[in-house]
Amino acid sequence: MYISLHNICGGVTMEKSQAQKYALLLGVLPWIAYVVISPFFNKPEPLILGMPPLMFWNTLWLILTSACLYGAYKFELGGGLLE
């Protein structure tokens, strides 16, 4: 059964399982950014916007995590996974 996601993807249709995969990917992405990639930014130089790289990375992903989780919610809502 195909679900229309007009509000999310501009009219693209997808199955519930596909919507669930995208939602899971958006949910796991911040975890990967924090746990797997963060150690590579743990150095004092160069400063990015006046912050060490790790602080900048964590601040950036604090904002992006909200966007990712909102996107995951919209995929689950539009895919019919939430009622």
Which tokens hold the place of 6?
A: 């007009």
Is residue 79 within 8 Å of residue 16, measured between CB atoms? yes
Average pLDDT of the segment spanning 26-53: 90
Entry pTM: 0.70
**What is residue 64's predicted lDDT score, i.e. its pLDDT?**
95
CA distances from 65 to 4, 38, 45, 46, 56 (A): 25, 14, 25, 24, 14
| pLDDT confidence tier of residue 74, bands split at 50, 70 and 90 | confident
Residue 2: DSSP 8-state: E
